[in-house]
Structure 1
Amino acid sequence: MDIPQTPAEPATGSVPPPRPQGPPPPASPVVFAAPFTDRTAWAPGRTSAYPEDGRNRADNKLDRIGPAYAPTPDGTFRARRAGRGDWHTDLVSTEYAPGGFELLAGDELSATCLVHAEPGAWPALWTWGRDHDNGRSQPGHGEVDAFEYHPDHPTMLELTNHVRPAARYADGLVAPGRPFLLTVRFGADSVEWSVDGSLVFSDGAGVGPHWRAWLVVGISVSAGAYGHPAPPPAVDELQWRCSGLTVRRPSAPAPRRA
């Protein structure tokens, strides 16, 4: 059946021209962009998130970190098979470095990452917070996982806020061997993760206004629990790459004038 068409109303005036767009707002200033070879900014093989002997078996990891295990100048993080079931794993943190850089609420972290589908590899970029002055730990130890990756789910990133618990296993974001740009904004009320310029998770929880945390970048080796296989016997080295790591911080608002 034909449906009667309602005639369009006549135009009553001309369409106003589009308003000219001004320049985009300036980017927040960079407050941290040190290469991994800078020993004033990064301490190799040290984080208080690991027990004193540099192992972390309780967290399903075969890692053995130490000052001798640092990434290459181009940001390649390696895990190399050692004796007695250990793997020497590269890790750097700002925690024990002379600069002692800490992220604050509102900061934005970005880095270009490249992962590989090598069984047992466990790349990660994360944060770890200092204790309060009274000795109490921050909620979740100030930990936010900018990403964790397991090759048994080769196109998935694990995005987790441990401060105000929220998480997403975001699939279809990455591909082994293909670089991706990761951006994380540590908002007081919501942590937001973007991949290659597209927002993929806004947790609606945030880190709170007083959060502060060190940066940690490293590679772990899965011991085989939680459905993540350990490396096969023929594999003696695992790796991933992180480059262009930068932290921006919003400028403080200008003081109001009377």
Structure 2
Amino acid sequence: MRSVVFTADFSSAHQWVAGRSRAYPDGGPTNTGDNKLDHLTADPEYSRTGTFRARRRADGLWDTGLLTTEESAEGFMVRSGDRLDTTVRLPTAPGAWPAIWTWRDGGNEVDVFEYHPDNPDLLELSNHVRRGYTYVRDAAVRPGGVVDLSVTFGARSVIWELNGRQVFADGRGVGSRWRAHLIVNLSVCAGRYHPTPDPDVTEMSYAVTSLVVHRPRGVLQEPEGEEPLQAC
């Protein structure tokens, strides 16, 4: 049995910090070394409604929306054994790079999904903790399509479901002590692996309409640096 331990309210400054992350050099605002044209912004119009936007700047970069639980007042982290459920509406413009992922100190990244409209029916699913990854093709995955995704961060296997159907179990897992903050964002590709946006495209977006984390009952939220506690 599981209990809901986190329900995303993207408008909440208590839950989410906007426009910066230690996943970016010096916390941002740019990350060109990762083939991104992002210039992170804390402007609520870019993320706080659950629609994550990117808009072209005059300097060739793009103002982009990013939210993270890192350094928020609540400081929520997903943990080994948790399941994350989310519903997203995918972007349509080539060059868009939406993702939901985890981050803590560089060794805790799991990608709930990444998507690139130039591969219209393909999702990228990755466990960077223990190098488990795959590409999933499905007719439900398409530019502008709405998909339900579930990820269980198992100690021995991370399991992904798409629209209620299991599509990948990596058989590697994250280990029993794993934990990490959540990041939800829209990046823009710089052209190394995926095309940059067409010259006439000035804005892109995708929407996250729900994001909920469930935890096995009896596992409590423990202080930093301690092992999970079991309820009596």
Unpaired runs of at least 5, structure 1: 1-25, 131-139
Q: Which amino acid aligns with 2:211?
A: L
Distance in 2, Cα, partners of 1:159 & 1:187: 15
Q: What are the superposed Cα offsets for residues 18-43 of structure 1, whole Å, 9 maximum, x if unpaired?
A: xxxxxxxx5x1110003100100000
Q: Which amino acid aligns with 1:117?
A: T
Distance in 1, Cα, partners of 2:231 & 2:213: 21
> Does the Cα contact within 8 Å between 1:117 and 1:152 map onto a contact in 2?
no
Find the residue that maps to 1:141 and give its secondary structure. Answer: coil
TM-score (norm 2): 0.90
Per-residue deviation, 1:195:
0.6
Distance in 2, Cα, partners of 1:110 & 1:123: 16
Q: Which residue of 2 aligns with 1:5?
A: none
Cα RMSD (Å) of the superposition? Answer: 1.4
Q: Which residue of 2 aligns with 1:36?
A: 10
Unpaired runs of at least 5, structure 2: 219-229
Per-residue deviation, 1:254:
6.2
Moved over 3 A (4+): none
Distance in 2, Cα, partners of 1:58 & 1:245: 29
Distance in 1, Cα, partners of 2:231 & 2:10: 34
Aligned length in residues: 218
Distance in 1, Cα, partners of 2:209 & 2:53: 14
Return closer, same or farther for 1:127/1:97 CA change in 2, 3 Å cut-off: same
**1:188-203, aligned counterparts within 5 Å?**
188-203=155-170
Match of 1:125 among 79, 97, 100: 100
Distance in 1, Cα, partners of 2:56 & 2:107: 29
Q: Which residue of 2 aligns with 1:162?
A: 128
Q: Which residue of 1 aligns with 2:21?
A: 47
> Does the Cα contact within 8 Å between 1:111 and 1:243 map onto a contact in 2?
yes
Return closer, same or farther for 1:55/1:254 CA change in 2, 3 Å cut-off: closer
> Does the Cα contact within 8 Å between 2:117 and 2:142 map onto a contact in 1?
no
Per-residue deviation, 1:72:
4.2
> Does the Cα contact within 8 Å between 1:107 and 1:247 map onto a contact in 2?
yes
Distance in 2, Cα, partners of 1:219 & 1:178: 16
- In the alignment, is residue 108 of structure 1 matched against residue 83 of structure 2? yes
Distance in 1, Cα, partners of 2:123 & 2:38: 21
Find the residue that maps to 1:83 and give its secondary structure. Answer: coil
Find the residue that maps to 2:33 and give its secondary structure. Answer: helix
Percent identity of paired positions between Structure 1 and Structure 2? 48
> Does the Cα contact within 8 Å between 1:106 and 1:187 map onto a contact in 2?
yes
- In the alignment, is residue 97 of structure 1 matched against residue 72 of structure 2? yes
In terms of Rg, which structure is larger?
A: 1
